[in-house]
Amino acid sequence: MNKLTSYTIKEIHKSFCDKLLTPTSFVDLCIQRARQTKELNAFINITNEEAENHAIESEKRVYVEKKSKPLDGITIAIKDNFCTKNIQTTCASNMLKNFVPTYDATVYSRLIDSGACLVGKSNLDEFAMGSGTVDSIFGPTRNPWCYSEDWRISGGSSGGSAVAVASGACVAAIGSDTGGSTRNPAALCGVVGLKPTYGLVSRYGLIPLVNSMDVPGILARNIDDLTIILNCVAGPDILDSTTIKKEFKTIKINKDIDLSKIKIGIPSEYYCEGMSEDVLDVWRSVTDLLENEKCQVSTVSLPHTSVSIAVYSILNQCEVASNMARYDGLEYGLRASEDYSTEELYASTRSEGFNNVVRSRIFAGNYFLLTRNYEKYFLKALKLRRLIADDFKKVFHGDNSVNLLLTPTTLSDAPLYKDFTSKHNREQCAFQDYCTQPANMAGIPAISIPIRLSNNNLPLSIQLMGPMLSEELMLNVAKKIETMVNFPSLEV
């Protein structure tokens, strides 16, 4: 059974060939695991019927037609802010509790077209606003590395996706990443989490949080699996005008990458207050590992990092204020019974439909966008965002440039639920997203890789960031790190 938390796509496909497993028997095992681990609350909805139907199709292709697809029989979970046709899509919010989309998100349809089997829709913070998966109307998601009464958060907002992968209920999962929501839970749950270059993977059907930063993210247990999934979902999409038009070239993992040709930068501004000793130690030890492999490591500077959290927060709230205007009780989603006037209907629908976090972001966003504040906050934040992106351009393309940056993903291992929730959402995010949100503002790719367990026996990870469309290099270096550190899979 332990194998469920360590199986690779390659091994599963080999087991199909050897008839040790079949797509339907494997899907059954994963559904069973999802049910056995129900107390982790990774899933909002376990989609056993879809999974079984997808598995039957895979079984036909594998054994009868002998024309397998790259993800035949591979179980996946999709964060519940991606539209799935005829399957309830809630964003973990009362507002969309009964919403059943009439169309599929592109990432989902590409995965299914590649043979994947949908095990379930995974839990998240309401509308993906958070870093803990603690603010869902379906309750928080627990970290599978700690089963004690004093339990730990899974990270977020794609905590359900990370837990589903770590606990063996599926092989890979899709999250969304606006400020770190894929990398953060990946780091706290000991799986790999990729935030691709903005526009590399279609956002069509991803219910928007911050359109200018949102990207679908991928969570998997190892780099090879993650790369296979990325190769299935990436590339232009006529349904999303912000996708990069250039043809996507399949990414290859080359076992013998020569690290002596790679320059790694360590941004000095990422040493920050509150970073735990464990995290610092992991950061140092991975730096040492890379140096031992003859990587050229140097300290670099990203001078605008200190304002990044504030800028992210302002821009996030402004886009949220505009995005959430679609939930008015008229077109779809919740409709409050209070309809004395249109204004009354809007107000009561939104106060019943949204939690405090969503409401306060709408409120703050509208404040920043008032004519008298626009220049002072929104415009200023946009200018600073450009400077943050330029910092990255300089280190990747200027004098003494580096190929990749190495930083921690989170400032600590998974916090206790009770400690985490004693803080306001804004404070939680300011701490949790410190190392992750700059990549979203610059649009560059970033990946979190698990390294070792902390003194609390919880996963610790590091992050690589690279220039636009450097996924191939980043994944190859990540693979090398993965091989050197040999992170354990979860014992269940």
Token pair belonging to 430: 């300011």
Using CB under 6 A, pick the residue from 45, 167, 178, 355 that binds ligand GLN: 178
Shortest distance, position 452 Cβ to ligand GLN, whole Å: 25
Secondary structure of 137-205 as H, E, C letters: CCCCCECCCCCCCCCEECCCCCHHHHHHHHCCCCCEEEEEECCCCCHHHHHHHCCEEEECCCCCECCCC
SS3 of residue 444 by DSSP: coil
Asked if 74 contacts 117 with a C-beta cutoff of 8 angstroms, the reply is yes
Residue 426, classified by CB atoms within 10 Å of its CB into exposed (0-12), middle (13-18) or buried (19+), is: middle
**Shortest Å, Cβ 78 to ligand GLN:** 15
Which H or E run includes 437?
A: helix 437-442
For this structure, is 322 an active site residue? no
Q: Does 429 bind ligand GLN (CB under 6 A)?
A: yes
Give 72 or 433: the residue with its C-beta nearer to ligand GLN. 433
347 Cβ partners below 8 Å, 6+ apart? none
Name the token pair of 465. Answer: 């960031």
Q: Indicate the DSSP class of residue 222.
A: S
Query: Out of 79, 121, 195, 480, which one is annotated catalytic?
Result: 79
CA distance 328 to 331: 7
Dihedral angle sign, alpha carbons of residues 133, 134, 139, 145: positive
Residue 79 among the catalytic residues: yes
In whole angstroms, the minimum distance from the beta carbon of 96 to ligand GLN comes to 16
- What is the contact mask toward ligand GLN in residues 182 to 211, using x (rule: CB under 6 A)? ---------------------------x--
Catalytic residue among 93, 109, 157, 412: 157
Shortest gap between Cβ of 127 and ligand GLN (angstroms)? 8
Among positions 98-137, residues that touch ligand GLN (CB under 6 A) are: 128-131
- Closer of 54 and 121 to ligand GLN (Cβ): 121
**Which residue is at the shortest CB distance from ligand GLN?**
181
Peptide bond into 157 cis (omega under 30): yes
Q: Which stretch binds ligand GLN (CB under 6 A): 57-65, 174-182, 270-278, 371-379?
A: 174-182
Q: Is 177 in the site for ligand GLN (CB under 6 A)?
A: yes
Does residue 181 have an active-site annotation? yes
433 neighbors 131 (Cβ within 8 angstroms): yes
- Residue 157 CB, shortest distance to ligand GLN, in Å, is 5
Q: How many residues bind ligand GLN, per CB under 6 A? A: 15
Q: Is 180 in the site for ligand GLN (CB under 6 A)?
A: yes
Among positions 207-246, residues that touch ligand GLN (CB under 6 A) are 209
| Selected catalytic residue, list 122, 131, 181, 448 | 181
CA angle 131, 133, 135 (to 5 degrees): 100
Q: Which of 106, 181, 227, 308 binds ligand GLN (CB under 6 A)?
A: 181
Nearer residue to ligand GLN within complex by CB, 295 or 364: 364
Shortest distance, CB of residue 215 to ligand GLN, whole angstroms?
9
Comparing CA positions, the residue from 156, 81, 40 lying closest to residue 420 is 156
Distance CA 91, CA 123 (A): 8
DSSP string computed for 302-328: -TTHHHHHHHHHHHHHHHHHHHGGG-S
Nearer to ligand GLN, 176 or 476 (CB): 176
Contact pick of 41, 93, 123, 157 for ligand GLN (by CB under 6 A): 157
Q: Is 400 helix (H, G, I), strand (E, B) or coil?
A: coil
Q: Any idea which residue has 């928007």 for tokens? A: 208
The minimum distance between CB 357 and ligand GLN, in angstroms, equals 8
DSSP 211: T
| SS3 call for 361 | helix
Least distance from ligand GLN to the Cβ atom of residue 294, Å: 35
Binding mask 292-331 for ligand GLN (x = CB under 6 A): ------------------------x---------------
Residue ranges in 257-276 that form contacts with ligand GLN under rule CB under 6 A = none
Applying CB under 6 A, which of residues 413, 433, 471, 482 lies at the interface with ligand GLN?
Answer: 433
The two tokens of residue 265 are: 């930068």
Selected range binding ligand GLN among 63-71, 170-178, 227-235, 461-469, rule: CB under 6 A: 170-178
Query: Cα(292)–Cα(311) distance, rounded to whole angstroms?
Result: 37
Between residues 129 and 186, which has the closer beta carbon with respect to ligand GLN?
129
> Could you list the active site residues?
79, 157, 181
Contact positions vs ligand GLN (CB under 6 A): 128-131, 157, 176-181, 209, 316, 429, 433
